[in-house]
Amino acid sequence: MNFNKYNEKYNITGERIKFFREKNKMSQEQLSNQLSLLGITLYQSDIFKIEKNERTVRDFELWGITKILNITSEEVFRP
């Protein structure tokens, strides 16, 4: 499946997700484990790719990430 890119990136939220994950002192593995408790399968390697803007983020994944990191989706989209 081909995905469109924006400025050669697969997402525009990865850097902000990493910022808030680190601010919450959470590893990629811990985030992955917390997502699985919500029924969202997102491996540590997927989170790595999202944070490096090498993978798209599905809406339900973004919902889970923001819920776990206790932030709003608006905060993820701010520059």
Q: What is the pLDDT of residue 31?
A: 98
Ramachandran class of 55: left when φ > 0, alpha when ψ lies in -120 to 50, beta otherwise: beta
CATH among 2.60.40.420, 1.10.260.40, 2.70.70.10, 1.25.40.90 for 14-73:
1.10.260.40
Contact 69, 21 (CB under 8 A): yes
Measured CA to CA, the distance from residue 45 to residue 32 in angstroms comes to: 9
Q: What is the pLDDT of residue 79?
A: 75
Q: What is the pLDDT of residue 1?
A: 53
* SS3 of residue 11 by DSSP: coil
Domain segments of the chain: what residues? Answer: 14-73
pLDDT bin (cut points 50, 70, 90) of residue 9 is confident
Which carries the bigger pLDDT value, residue 5 or residue 21?
Answer: 21
Q: Encode pLDDT of 15-63 as tens digits.
A: 999 999 999 999 999 999 999 999 999 999 999 999 998 898 999 999 9
Q: What is the pLDDT of residue 34?
A: 98
Measured CA to CA, the distance from residue 19 to residue 51 in angstroms comes to: 9
